[in-house]
Every structure is written in C-alpha cells, then in structure tokens.
Amino acid sequence: MMKVTASSFRNPYIPCKAVNGVVSEADRWEPASGAAGPHWLQIDLRRPVLLGGTALYFWPTGSPDDAVRFVLSARSEGTWRTIPGTLYSREWSGPVRLQFKGPVTADAVRLYFLDAWLSVAQWQLLAPEAEECEPLLIDGPPLEQVHRNADYVPDVNVLVSQFGYHPEHTKTVIYRLGGQVGQGAAFADANFDVKPEAATESVSFDVERTTAAESASFDVKRAEGGETVFSGKLVTVEDDFGLFQTGDFTGLTDEGEYYIQIGCERSFRTFRIGRGLWGDYVKLTALHYFGLRRIGENSVVGDYGDTISVRWDDARTQDGKYRYIGKGFADGCDLRRFCNASLIVTQYCLLKQSGPLWDTADWIYDQVRWGLDGVLSFLGKDGMPDAALHVRTPDIHYGTDGRFESGDEGLIINAIADEEHNAFEYNGWNKEAVCSSLLLGPAEACLTFGERDPEFFERVKQLVIRGHRRIRETFSPHPHKYSLSGWAWLNALLHALTGEKEYKELAVSAAERFIGLQVTEAYGDSSVTASGWYRYAAEGEHDPWKGQTPRYGKYTDLDSGLRSPWGEKPEQEIMIVPWLYQGLFRLLDLLPDEAGAPAWKSSLHRYAREYLLALSKQNVFGLTPMKVGSKGLIRRKGTLSYQYHGEIGRMFHQLGNGALLMKAGKRFGDPELIEAAWKHAYYFTGCNPLGIGAIYGLSGNIPSQQYCSDTVGKAYPGGTVNGFNCVSSVNDYPNFQYWEYYGYANLANLWFASEIGADSFTEPLELWPRQLTEAPHSANAAHRLHTFPVRFKGGFRYRLMAVVKDGAASVERMDGKETAGERPLRRSDSGADGGSPVHWRGNGAEGGSPVQWNESRAAGRSSVQWSVNDVPGGSQQAGTISADGIYAAPRVMEELKVTIRAQSTGDSGIFAETEAIIMPVPGRTEGLICSREGNSVVLRWRAADGPVTGYTVYRRHPVTEREAGTIFERIGFTEGAGSCTFTLADEEPVGTQFIVRAYYRHGGKNYGFGEDSNTVMRVDER
C-alpha cells in the first residue's frame, strides 16, 4: 500500500487526482491559493522500489511565463536526496519525461516546485527500462469565465450558514481542507493509499482513500465573550466537491449568536440560532426585494428616476406608435422580457393562500395588482404574447424624466417573432411554455382576489379563457414534454374559475401525460442510483437540441431520451423548471378527490426522494443537481450522468429544488426532505465550497454586483444572485463568476421563502414601507451603501404596516369592512397609490374554497400608535395617519420630508420609523368627455389643480368574443397645463373606455401622475 500527500491543496484538486490515470481540468492536483512555497507533492511507496524515470503531465494555471521549474527528491533509509539530473526549468510545452542518470532506490519520491505555480494532472514513476502508461486525456476547452467585483474573502475554510439555523433542524459545520500542512490539525489527515499494479514496470496506482482518524474537533462559541457552548468531532469525507471534514452540532438548540472555531480558524463573522430567524427571509424577499424592484410610476420605495425605474409609459415601437408596457418587476439584465412577471404574480398568490399573519396592510394584493399591470400589457387582447420589453443596462439613455430618447424605440420587441439572437428560444421549442405560463399569474390572481375588484377580475378571467382557446388552436395536441405541468395547472385553475367540466378533463389528461415523462428505471452504479426526474420530452419525440451547438452548457454525446430539462441557452424558457412542477401540487389542492390524485402524490414524492434527495447525498453540502440524464454530463456514475453547475450560473434550479423539497416534505410528512431543503437554505447563505453567500441580507461574505454602482449593481436586500458556475466542460466544481440579479433566481427565492414561511420577524417592530439601505456586501469596508428612500405623492393615501416581533400587528380587525375615509382602489391602476382596501378574500389550499380571515387569530394582538413628525395622528401640514396605518399625504407644491413612526402601545421603547419624501403632483383631472367629430374621436377635460406639465391619455378595449381588454393602456400625451384636448383616429371599437391623468415634471425629476379622471366610453353615434 502507498499514499500520496502534499504541502497543501485546493479543493477539489486533491493529491490523489495526480495519480488516477486521467489528465483533465478536473483531474489534477493544485496547491492551495495563497499558500507559501515551496510546494510539494509526495508519493510514499512504503517499501524500497527501484526506479528509472518519471512522466509528468502539468495543467496550465496562468503562470506569468508559463515556465515549468521543479526538482525531484528520493527518500531512502530515512534520508532525502535530490535525484541527479532532475532539476528542470523550461517553458511549458506539454508532458515532461525524464530518464534518471542511473537507477534510484527509494521508498518515497517528492516533487518540489521552485518558484513557479504548477498544477500536476498526472505523475507516473517508472521502473528502469519501463514505458510510460498513456493516461486518459480529457481535453475540454475552458468555458467563458468572468470575474467582476470579486471582492469577497476567499479563504473562508470553516463553512456554516452565515445567517443562521432553526434550533430544531440539522446543523452542520463543514471544514474545507487544503491549507498548508501544519496550519491546522485536520490537514495532517489529507492522505491517500495507493496500490502498485506492476512495480517491475511503471508504478501506476489504483487509488483508494483510507478512513482518516476522527480526531479533529470543533468548538461552537458564543459571539459575546467567546465561551465554548458545544464541542464535537470532525469526520473526513471525500465527495463530489473534494475533501472535507464535517461536524454535527444539531444538539445545540439554545437561541443566540455564535461562531465556530477549528484550530486557529473560525467561521466568517457570526451566525444565529433562533426559531423566528428565517421569517426574515420572507420579509426580505416578499417585502424588500420585490418592493425595491418595482418598475413603473409610483414605485414608493427606491430611487425615483433610478435606471431600473424608467417610466415605460413613454415607450414607442419602431413605427413610432406608443406602446404601453405597464408596471412590473425588474430583472437586472433582461428585465421583463420573459414570462417571469406572470410567475411572480402567481407566487405571490400562492403566498397569500398560505395565510401569512404579517400581511395586515394588503401588501401582497398590491404586489399582485402591480405585477398584473405588466403581464397584461404585453399579452395581446387574445391572451397570447404580443410584445415585451428588451432592455439591457447599456441600452437605455438614462434620464430622470424617464422618457425614451430617440433611437430607443426598437427596445419594444415582438417576443416570439423578433429575429435578434435569442429569439429562436421562443420560436417553437418552448413557445407553449411561454404562452401557458403567461396566463398562470392572471388565473391565480382571479382565483385568489376575484372578489376584491369583480369587474376588473372578470375581464382578466375572460382574457385567460381566450388565451387558453388560442393555445389549443396553436398547439394541438399540446407537446408531450415538461411544460405539461403548467398546462395541467392552467386547466385546473380555469375549472375552479368557471366550473366547466372540460377544463378538469384537460387538467387530468395533461397530468397523466406529464407523469408519463417520469424516469422510473434506476440509473447509476454501486455508489449511487437515482430515478424519478421528468424527461424534457417523451422518448422518441423530436429533441430540438439534437444537432445544435448551444451558446452555453457544453455537453458531449447528448442524451435525448432521458435528459431532464435545464436552463442553459438556447432553451431559455425552461428556466422555470422546477418552479413549474408546482402544477402537480396545485392539482392536489384544486382537484383533491380525483382518481389520479394518488398517482400525482406518488410522482412528486418520487421526484423529491429518488432524484433530488438521492443525489444531494453525493456531497456534504446537500446540494441537488441542475441537470441529469444517462450520459453526456460532467459527473458520471455508471449509467447515471449529472451536473450541479452551468457555465453561466443558473443557481435558481437549486433554489427551486430547495423549495420543492420543503413543499414535498411538508405535504407528505417526510422530515428527511425537509432537512434536505434546509441544507439548500444554508448553502445559499454561505455553507458552500467557496464560503460565500448568494442572498443579500442573509449572508456576510457576499460579493458586490458586477455593474456600475449607479445602475443595477445595488445590493438589494433579499435579492439572490445568478450564482456559481463551473469554469470548464469537465469540471463541475463551483467557481465565482459575476453576481447579477436574475428574474428566475428571485422567483425561486420568493418560492423558497414562502415555503419556509414566517409568523413574525426578528425586528421588535417591523415597519413597511420604510427607507432601506443596501445590504452589507464586499470585503471592502469602504464600499458605499446606497439608500433607497420612501416617496409618497401629495394628495394620495398609503397603507403602512407595522408587525410586532411576536406576530402582533397594528390591525386588530380584519373582517372585510372598508376603513372609513379610504379611497377605493381605482379600476385603472394596480393599487400603486397604496389605498388598497383592508379586507381580503383568498382561496384556501383545499379545493380552492374561499377563506375568510379568522378573527380569533387576531385576538390578543398588540397595537401601535402612529405619529407624523412626533405628532400623534399627524397634522394637516405633514399629513395625517389613522389608527390602522392609513397615511394621507398632504398636497404640496415642492418636496417635503416627514418622519412617520409606529410605536408599540405596550412598550414605548419598541418603535420603528421612516423618513418619507412627499412629492408635488397634480390634482385629479375632472370633466372628461368623449365625442366623435368627423373621422376622429376627440377627448376634452378641465385643467387639473396643482403643478401640471401635461396630460397622459389611456384607453381600455371592451370584451368581445375573441378579445378582452383588461387594463388602461397609454396611447399618447399632451404637453402644457392648459392642453386639455386629445384627438385620435376613429379606429377604436365601440365600448372602448378612456381616462386621463395629469403629470408633473420639474427640475429634472419626473414626479408622476395625479389621480384618474372619470371614465368615458366611445359609443356608436352613427
């Protein structure tokens, strides 16, 4: 038996990989980053062996002069001596083969690097006169790797969640091995045994790792004072990501703040243990992140005039016509080009259906109406995708007035037919997924909130029905592929909305066909087997990837029959997997008594256990794969092939996997799935091979954004980033790429947070909306943190929310009664003025039955006292606020700053406050009339009060057999306070409605719109 040791190593490039017979980017040894030289790699032969030469295969690592400089030493009878003729210093040009000047007897050989930085891919010791054994060469070209703002601490070796743990769930510390020998006790165990196959010829090795002595320990210490409160043993494990030691501290359940120490190293800063701790995950995603990422006029929180908050109301198409693109949620690179806006609306509806106690101010409903405005703006009146906004950061001529400048008109595209380089992702391959997904949000919103605004949601329902009809006309039959889950979901929703039997039959049929895509045969080898994933398409059906060269996601020998869908281009739209698999869960909610329900449950449970859970055990972090099949991917275990990472990140897959595991675990009462889900939460908050976080506000060691500080690069609290990537087509180890916000990642983020849930938040009193600051990030202490202000429009009402830590809230009664003096939600907008009603009526988890707020849940709530500028209830000058948090902003002619405070009536020391800027906006436009004059329609109105720059005109089409108008869309504007007439061609159908809003721009700022005018309708006057 023999062993291989090294001065240090960098995971996953552990010493044994230098003698495993394979040369590749993944199969090599490399010294630890930053470790002091000289570096050495040693083969211990354990007995004297006669040697005559050596063969060395190096891997290029970017050495400045690409030089190879080393020397070999041999140990005999306890003494080390340099082997004559082995001092080597030349340009790197390939394998190095050396014949010794004479036979050398040694029981160990050591390779010393001098001053070069080398990585050894293969090292063979040769007997005299023996020939080298050709290693297996896997020559995978490096993939694109971008490093921007890599300003994190790179040498964190004690890996834990940098946010914290629930006391009742598994808690694990992972120690990343690879530092210099002697720096910590754990490194001494980084040895591997090897067996010689033929010592008389070349000394080749079949590597087997010995079980390291479980002697190293770890200590959990209190953050304050450093007292050790828990100690445990470390166990050495070799897994998919390298060599680690793990320790379990599940037994520590006392709430508090801690850090872990191993030898002279400690975890990054501190972490917490607490029962309500992870409720902040919901707060950061559902309130802060998506609150800050609103696109459109009157976003309330954030930089008014921010580069992401461009006022799309001035958008134009290439022919010069205005095109309303509505509101929505920013993405960070592609904005709302994909169907993500609809899916965010869907996820908010599902969150509301869970009955969150904290949503006392109707924030979720406000977010749903906001997102719907964007979804409905780029759906055609027939319910099919019509247009979308294609904007990347450099494409916008930024200006605080928010208007598109000349040359930007082309940014409004046809999402399906446009011929720019990504358009083929939609055209046929995944078009049916786009079409059905865009209808899920509107359908779920109708089911969840239909009684809140019956006239509006009836229009939306009619649009969904027409879109469904068009999908059936376009895709007949619906493709037998992964998108069947969403199709089943949509049909189940329509059955709940209409009661029509045909929709239920379509839902059940689609679910049955979808389950038919599940892989039931086990694949793998003696170390691991897996099954249960869903194929991209049915076996034998056309796979559009076949014969294509994708822009990302290199593969070899494409597995068309068994591969799962994954989200690397060109198949852009399947990035909604695994989110889309919630369709089967929703069928269990909406059709629980169907004969197929047991099969749906079994299928989901199998997917969670036999695929996700099974493969999560192949690494100490519990991470699940992004891709799977029988061949063609980086990791191969017998007949199984899988991969954790992609070239351009796409970590939303694993966030979605975590959410699905949590949902399945709770649904099926499977605690092992729940624990596997928690490991994903810990992975994204720092317990990963790099020791860096991926969710702002929940991680300490987290890099900056990649863009300029004044654009989309802000560290929005609660935002998750695109994630880690692999840097070659043969290495699946995670590496830092660049951090960017990605819509699907944050959709999965919201889903995961929703599944974890929140009864309360950690702050003694949480106020929303409130002024926010960027989440801490970057290892650079001098990095500037931007502030996101609160801005209210004068003359508008806004609902504020105050939640006390134990779940108590400022609203004691939620009985469906409208607050006195509250202005009802306008038909024409998405509730952006904040005046949404107090009551809500959602749909429960079982069969879509209505759920009313249970007043007993509100019993015993603490209340708060509201004040404005230290005046209880406010004043006429600063604005007034009611007992349940409805703030009436005063009308102003210039900006006014006020401070709004919520203070617990039970404890005056518990309070929260925010500074708000009151903005000057016009008053309501009055007296709108519509008349037909010749071949034109003419609109006239009276001038609005207050500061006015001009007026914007909106229309809404009627509901017809083939089309349904849902929202008021901008069709033009006038400039000047007295410009109170607008003429348009008489092309509008009878029943078209119009409204007008006054707007105000001054001093380089776009202050936005006043209230809606009265609504008028175009009638047939002939």
Q: Is the pLDDT of residue 203 over 60?
A: no
CA–CA dist 645, 632 (Å, integer): 14
* Cis omega (within 30 of 0) for bond into 60: no
List the domains of the chain with CATH numbers. 3-126 (2.60.120.260), 295-328+338-476 (no CATH), 795-819+861-919 (2.60.40), 926-1019 (2.60.40.10)
Residue 655 has pLDDT above 90, yes or no: yes
Sign of the CA dihedral running 296, 301, 305, 307? negative
Provide the 8-state DSSP code for 769.
Answer: S
Supply the DSSP string of 175-227, one letter for each residue.
Answer: EE--S-TTSSGGGGG--EEEEES-TTSEE-EEEEPPPPPTT-EEEEEETTT--
Mean pLDDT of 363-379: 89
pLDDT score for 961: 92
Write the pLDDT tens digit of every residue in 486-538: 999 999 999 999 999 999 999 999 999 999 999 999 999 999 999 999 998 88
- pTM of the shown model: 0.84
State the chain's mean pLDDT as an integer. 79
Judged against a pLDDT cut of 80, whether residue 142 lies above it is answered with: no
The 10s digit of each residue's pLDDT in 657-714 is 999 999 999 999 999 999 999 999 999 999 999 899 999 999 888 887 654 443 445 7
- Residue-by-residue DSSP string for 365-429: HHHHHHHHHHHHHSB-TTSSB--EE---GGGS---TT-PPPTT-GGGEE-TTT--STTGGGTTTT
SS (H, E, C) 860-874: CCCCEEEEECCEECE
In percent, the amount of the chain with pLDDT more than 90 equals 49
Residue 103: pLDDT over 60? yes
647 CB-near residues (< 8 Å, 6+ apart): 143, 144, 552, 553, 554, 568, 725, 726
What is the rounded distance in angstroms from the CA atom of residue 189 to the CA atom of residue 417?
Answer: 59
Backbone Cα Rg of the chain? 31
Residue among 805, 690, 687, 751 at smallest CA distance from 163:
687
Least confident of 447-461, 546-560, 564-578, 935-949: 546-560
pLDDT tens-digit readout, 230-258: 999 999 998 999 889 999 999 999 999 99
Beta carbons of 41 and 64 less than 8 angstroms apart: no
Mean pLDDT value across residues 941-958: 94
Residue-wise pLDDT for 818-837, tens only, equals 222 222 222 233 333 333 32
**Which DSSP state fits 330?**
-
Higher model confidence: residue 728 or residue 244? 244
Residue 819 three-state SS: coil
pLDDT reported for residue 324: 67
pLDDT of residue 969: 86
**pLDDT on residue 400:** 31
- The Cα–Cα gap between 970 and 958 comes to 15
**Cα angle 622-625-627, degrees, rounded to a multiple of 5:** 175
Confidence check: pLDDT of 807 > 80: no
Which two structure tokens, joined as six digits, stand for 599?
A: 């099969």
Q: How far apart are CA 241 and CA 235, in angstroms?
A: 16
Provide the pLDDT for residue 783: 62
Best CA proximity match to 301, nearest among 915, 930, 875: 915
Coil, strand or helix at 141? coil
Cβ-proximal residues to 437 (8 Å cutoff; 6+ apart), any chain: 339, 342, 343, 486, 573, 576, 580
In this prediction, residue 695 carries a pLDDT of: 93
